[in-house]
Amino acid sequence: MFSRLILTPFVAGTLYYMYQIYQTGEFHMGFLPFFFIGVILYLFAPQIEWWWVNRNPPELHDKLRALLQQHNVFYQNLTVAEKKRFRNRMALYMEAMDYKQMGGGPEVVPEDIRGFIAAGAIQIGFGQKDYLMDTFEHLIIYPGAFPSPQFPKQLHNCEHFEEDGVIMFAAKSVIDSTRLSPRAYNTILHTYAQVFDHHFSDTDFPALTENIWQPLETMSGMNKTFIQESVGLMDIDPRPVSVHHFFVFSKKFKELLPEVFDQYVQIFNINPLEAYEPVVDRSQIDVK
């Protein structure tokens, strides 16, 4: 770890002067800078680590890169430079999040599950500087559909809980969302559309009425019942569904809902029809 590397000489210097003080019985002024700088470095170790990893992001394993190239259409179409930025952000997101496996299964959340989720998060936030959306820092993964305190009587596949900064997914739904897209409804994009809405709470989203369901079904072939069953909840807000379709069925979305499409281009700073370089205003992102 980088913070431990730079902390080591200050720990060594502190121990050296403590030994000299013990041997001579006299205080050495050299003790103070080593001690206080060491304390500061220790206290700010997480921030130092994050600063370092941001400037030296880890590369994704070959397996995850292959899965991205095989299953993520958004990533497939990017330029070489934009693919690298996507992978860097994805690796950093995976470093930043706290993962927890629930309900049996492996103790550690498998890398492909973590990667699929991170890819959805990065796609939604690709046009943002604050792509981590770190008001949500905890990911809980269940093997299959799960109940929760918010929905104790409904087994569902995804959920977010703003008060605790928690996002929850069923692993099976994560895999199906990625491997079967666009035939399956992507619960990852659905959930991160909700996370985006809560994190950027001052965003002026367009008002959507129940009438929106007909064009959403026409462009996707997915009716409201299908989406309810995919999510596992009966009460479905059309907003995250419309965001999902904006990214997945972009061309038909533009044809059927041109005004909403243009508003989403501004909100997400992404034009998915410009597949190679979809970011609209590059001054809004960190360009490395």
pLDDT in tens, the chain (288 residues): 554 666 677 667 677 657 667 667 776 676 667 666 666 655 665 555 555 556 667 778 888 899 999 999 999 999 999 999 999 999 999 988 999 998 766 678 899 999 999 999 999 999 999 999 989 999 999 999 999 999 999 999 999 999 999 999 999 999 999 988 788 999 999 999 999 999 999 999 999 999 999 999 999 999 999 999 999 999 999 999 999 999 999 999 999 999 999 999 999 999 999 999 999 999 888 654
| Residue 2 to residues 7, 12, 44, 180, Cα–Cα distance (Å) | 9, 16, 12, 40
Q: Are 195 and 160 in contact (CB under 8 A)?
A: yes
Q: Which of 167, 160, 182, 178 is nearest to 237 (CA)?
A: 160
Of residues 223, 221, 157, 144, the one with CA closest to residue 190:
157
Cis check for the bond before 278: say yes or no (omega within 30 of 0): no
SS3 of residue 14 by DSSP: helix
Q: For residue 175, what pLDDT is reported? A: 94
pLDDT in the model for residue 53: 59
- pLDDT of 19: 62
The pLDDT assigned to 218 comes to 97
Q: How far is CA 188 from the centre of its chain?
A: 10
pLDDT attached to residue 184: 94
Q: Residue 100: which of 8, 38, 168, 165 has the closest Cα?
A: 168
Pairing of β 166-170 and β 158-161 = antiparallel
Which residues, listed in sequence order, are joined to residue 170 by a DSSP beta bridge? 142
What pLDDT does 181 receive?
79
